[in-house]
Structure 1
Amino acid sequence: MQKADAQQPPWLALFSICLAAFLVPMAMAAVNLALPTIALDLHIDAVYLSWVPSAPLWGSVVLMLPVARLADLYGRRRIHLYGLALYAASSVVVAWVDQIEWLLFFRVLQGLSSSFIFATAMAMVATLAGSERRGMFLGIVSTSVYLGLTLGPVAGGWLTELLGWRSVFWLPVPGILLALVLVLRFVPTTPRTQQTNEGLSFSQRLDLTGSLIFALCTSCLFFGVSGLPDLRFAGVLFMGIVLCWVFVRHQRVAKAPLVRIDAMRQNRIFTRSLLASVCMYGASFPVLFILSLYLQYIQGLSPGEAGSIILIQALLMACVAPVAGRLSDRYEARVIATSGCGMFVLGFVVLFFAGMDSPLWQIQMGLCFLGIGFGLFSSPNNNAAMGSVDPSRLGIASAMLNLARTAGNMFSTTIMVVIFNYYFGEKVLQPEDYPQLLVVVKIAVLLGGAYALAGGYFSLTRGRMR
């Protein structure tokens, strides 16, 4: 196989990266529809079953920064290819799994391989596009991810019903292998980062100590959040917060840190873009969950009917993101992204006034505002962040954006768990509980609006790109 040529058409290279960016999230989301069948086939309880979708999330986070640093040091294309190969291999092996422990092991491997893929994808696209088309190209990648997440549950239901739950894992493999071949053929090799400290050992260049602290920190945060409100897990969460402080302290004195803390603090555009991302993903993540309950319990819709309504948000976001990214190549990203935050707030205002007998068009209107708003926000925000860092650190910047998304998701999930436990505990929802459920929906919508307002503040005050 010949090496990728730098003169190849950039659209073919972009398609090569987007193919995996579509297939991996789709496969991850599709598993949720196969969970009941997996439980019956492997004879597992609810606790084990809950880890089937959670295990790859932990795997994708725990090595995100070290992998991104390796990509910056030794070539992003190489690390991306390793991720594609590992993802394909771990997915194929699931066809022979008959024990839940092995299934969880390979799910963790899928998560680790996805960190190889997504820690490098945006960095490669940013390099490929240059400053003239960076926003548009990043918008197309975002669209690929959201289309995958949107179509995943539909594909998962069909595959599980027609071919069995294992097909959810192995059927995307040919597409992943095709992506590997296309990346090898069309994506140019990224040069290795020139080392300013040539005498440093490998462990110092990679900062193995910082990598270990980061892995422990993210693990404690992840498992602590997943076990709330149990006090034992609250202690694990507190340990994770302490390790975060230790990690930051270590990065400030390390010879070759994973994250240059002082440089990041001085980079107002990048820092505020990260904070805006945390807030907006925190606002967005609970929407699907809380509206799914509202539509099925209070409005009395079937799961399919509720899903088709919620689909509006994802489809509009996928349509708007590339356009917004292209606009951010020409105009100030903060203006476009902040207008998206405002549109997001407007969507929450519409949803807040939904009641027990509200017409469905009101929910659909609110979801339209949310979809357009997030589409206007995501690509310009990523464009501003990636455009503000040195090209030699694009891998780390890409990883930090992925971590910001995860942090927002985890934070908002924790708040929702606490609220649900306060109002309902372990009760099974009955019609007499629906008025309280509506109160919970309104609280979630209010919190989402507050997060979006905070995201708009950070977006507006990030500074000018040009």
Structure 2
Amino acid sequence: MRIWGPLAAVCLGTFMLLTDITIVLVALPSMAESLGSSLSQLQWVADGYALAVAAALLAVGTLADLQGRRRVYVAGLVVFALASVACALSPGMGWLIAARLVQGVGAAAMFTTTLSLISTLYSGRRLGQAFGVWAAVAASASALGPIMGGLLTEALDWRWIFYVNVPVTALALAMTFRHIPRSTPHRSATRRPDVPGIVLFALAAGGFVYALTTSHSHGWSSAGTLVPLALAVAAFVAFLAVQRRGPHPLLDLSLFRRPAFTAAMLTIAVGEGAVYGILPYTSIWLQSVQHLAPIGAGLVVLPHAVAAALVAVLSGRWMPKPSPHLGAVLGLLLAGIGVGAEGFLGPGSGWPALVGGLALSGVGMGLVFQVAATLALGSVPAERAGMASGIYSTVEQLGYAFGVAVFGTLAVTTMTGSLDGKVADPAGAAQTLSGGGAGTLLTAVPTGQRATFDHILHAAFADGHNALALTAGALAVAGAACVCRLTRSPESTGKAMAGAPAETAGAVPTAE
């Protein structure tokens, strides 16, 4: 257990926090029925968690460098478990969203330390193998979340998707104390945290996602969208100014001068946003339109999970040959083709129409998870591992959060156009349909007209899902082209791999 014990402890936390991003997807209709909700509230249940993770990651990444990575990881586990209990006990949507935000903060403390712990605990061939195992866990967690959510929701209740975190957290804590050595702060730990940077970044990220999430209900030209968007832009500009001038910035902007590092950020952001950003709407289509049970909707995603996990493990065995440059470009390209293949649904299409695309996008994301982490951590000095891990994880979660928000707006807009002239209130019907309310719309129609109206709803949701999938596919392919251009020089990836943390020789000395 000297080699596998620490990795198992880290991967347990990774699996749990990433599962909680997607485990709620198949439970959204049950939550809406139990607590009552709008599409925006459902989006915030999925998006609020990812947004909280992204907003807190840079801060806790720096904190981990200063105070010790094991200490921050343990604190994150405890906060995550307590917030999970609060989620399970939620009496209403407001409580649930607030608890999900706190849960995201705990997840951030776990997430930002996982990659930096691996990069400092392992080196050489074992580092590649460790990244491969971690990438397999990350890929399978995101994709297996809907299956686990379906099982728990159908067999017990949606609240158990949160209760199950408690025993897993206890096991992760026990393994962490047993197998991960106590870490000590760096000498620079006396420096003060970048509080202005933390606040400004949280305001910018939150403002952007809030504006995108509510734009479909307020309209792009309304004050409810433009005001938070303007505040977010102002906060982001101020954040960049603070980072350039501060003596100890939260985000070292010079890291982005390294082509390999920038390519890693682009790879994971586009992959997460394109592939996983449309999954909430796929889940709603499967359950509210196709009438699958939660476990059935989860099982439809199983080919993606299996493909992503297998490819991540296998790619970890032959990295860095072929190069991480090739893996990043190929991963995004396959993910784009796969998710784009999901964009050809018709009114009579069933779940089998998605399986091929889901499997191919899983192959692509298995590569993306493996090579993006390798590029990110391998292109920075060891003393920047915590910050680099925080940036990587931040960009990953922001990619997902922006994907969910943007695709939600696109779904409502497309469905509104499809329903125009067919229903009295196309905008309102599109809001209800995209939020999982197909059954509600159908019961409001006289019995004799339900068959025709059901066909209209199937066609409208198919149009919306097709727009999402084709847009996501084009985005991923464009991302592949950009990554190819960024890493076209052999030096850009060669330096990345040569700069991989190597102060350990495959043994497990300290967590710093």
TM-score when scaled to structure 2?
0.78
Q: How many residue pairs align between the two structures? A: 450
Distance 1:238 1:119, change over 3 A: same
Distance 1:343 1:26, change over 3 A: closer
Aligned to 1:219: 206
1:464 equivalent in alignment to 2:493:
yes
Aligned to 2:2: 9
Q: Distance in 1 between matches of 2:93 and 2:361?
A: 38
Aligned to 2:428: 426
Q: Distance in 2 between matches of 1:343 and 1:398?
A: 25
Aligned to 1:63: 56
Aligned to 1:175: 168
1:239 equivalent among 220, 231, 236 = 231
1:321 equivalent among 287, 309, 312 = 312
Distance 1:236 1:29, change over 3 A: same
- Tell which deviates more after alignment, 14-23 or 156-165: 156-165
- Read off the aligned partner of 1:445 and give its amino acid letter: A
1:138 equivalent in alignment to 2:162:
no
- Read off the aligned partner of 2:477 and give its amino acid letter: L
Q: Distance in 1 between matches of 2:33 and 2:109?
A: 32
1:365 equivalent in alignment to 2:356:
yes
1:110 equivalent among 90, 103, 108 = 103
Per-residue deviation at 1:416? 2.3
Q: Distance in 1 between matches of 2:342 and 2:162?
A: 36
2:242 equivalent among 246, 250, 256 = 250
- Asked whether the 8 Å contact 2:150–2:296 carries over to 1, the reply is no
Q: Distance in 1 between matches of 2:287 and 2:31?
A: 24
Aligned to 1:91: 84
Distance 1:62 1:434, change over 3 A: same
Per-residue deviation at 1:10? 1.9
- Read off the aligned partner of 2:212 and give its amino acid letter: V
- Asked whether the 8 Å contact 1:274–1:401 carries over to 2, the reply is yes
- Tell which deviates more after alignment, 212-221 or 136-145: 136-145
Q: Distance in 1 between matches of 2:272 and 2:43?
A: 22
- Asked whether the 8 Å contact 1:228–1:414 carries over to 2, the reply is no
Per-residue deviation at 1:94? 5.6
Per-residue deviation at 1:80? 0.3
Distance 1:139 1:415, change over 3 A: same
Distance 1:65 1:368, change over 3 A: same
- Tell which deviates more after alignment, 247-256 or 321-330: 321-330
2:330 equivalent among 318, 329, 339 = 339
Q: Deviations over 1:17-41 (max 9, x none)?
A: 1112122333454445555665666
- Asked whether the 8 Å contact 2:280–2:404 carries over to 1, the reply is no
- Tell which deviates more after alignment, 301-310 or 266-275: 301-310
- Read off the aligned partner of 1:302 and give its amino acid letter: L
Per-residue deviation at 1:184? 1.4
- Asked whether the 8 Å contact 2:55–2:201 carries over to 1, the reply is yes
1:273 equivalent in alignment to 2:260:
no
Distance 1:51 1:12, change over 3 A: same
- Tell which deviates more after alignment, 375-384 or 438-447: 438-447
1:394 equivalent in alignment to 2:407:
no
Per-residue deviation at 1:325? 2.5
Distance 1:361 1:395, change over 3 A: same
Q: Distance in 2 between matches of 1:308 and 1:57?
A: 23
Per-residue deviation at 1:273? 1.4
Aligned to 1:208: 195
- Tell which deviates more after alignment, 47-56 or 417-426: 47-56
Per-residue deviation at 1:288? 2.6
- Which protein, 1 or 2, shows the higher relative CO under an 8 Å CA cutoff with sep ≥ 6? 2
Aligned to 1:78: 71
- Read off the aligned partner of 2:138 and give its amino acid letter: V
Partner SS for 2:248: coil
Aligned to 2:472: 448
- Read off the aligned partner of 1:342 and give its amino acid letter: L
- Asked whether the 8 Å contact 1:224–1:234 carries over to 2, the reply is yes
Distance 1:182 1:444, change over 3 A: same
TM-score when scaled to structure 1?
0.85
- Asked whether the 8 Å contact 1:131–1:387 carries over to 2, the reply is no
Q: Distance in 2 between matches of 1:90 and 1:294?
A: 29
Distance 1:289 1:100, change over 3 A: closer
Per-residue deviation at 1:127? 1.6
Q: Distance in 2 between matches of 1:119 and 1:107?
A: 18
- Asked whether the 8 Å contact 1:32–1:53 carries over to 2, the reply is yes
- Asked whether the 8 Å contact 2:337–2:360 carries over to 1, the reply is yes
- Asked whether the 8 Å contact 1:334–1:381 carries over to 2, the reply is no
Q: Distance in 1 between matches of 2:297 and 2:150?
A: 15
- Tell which deviates more after alignment, 427-436 or 233-242: 427-436
- Read off the aligned partner of 2:292 and give its amino acid letter: S
Per-residue deviation at 1:358? 6.6
Partner SS for 2:428: coil
- Tell which deviates more after alignment, 101-110 or 451-460: 101-110
Partner SS for 1:317: helix
Aligned to 2:12: 19
Partner SS for 1:464: helix
Q: Deviations over 1:32-77 (max 9, x none)?
A: 5555665666x55546666444443333222211111010112111
- Asked whether the 8 Å contact 1:286–1:444 carries over to 2, the reply is no
Instruction: Extract unaligned runs of 5+ from structure 2.
Output: 417-426, 439-453, 498-512
Per-residue deviation at 1:114? 0.6
1:309 equivalent in alignment to 2:305:
no
Q: Distance in 1 between matches of 2:457 and 2:333?
A: 33
- Read off the aligned partner of 1:221 and give its amino acid letter: F
- Asked whether the 8 Å contact 1:225–1:234 carries over to 2, the reply is no
Q: Distance in 2 between matches of 1:149 and 1:325?
A: 18
Distance 1:50 1:375, change over 3 A: closer
- Asked whether the 8 Å contact 2:343–2:468 carries over to 1, the reply is no
Q: Percent identity?
A: 26
- Tell which deviates more after alignment, 122-131 or 245-254: 122-131
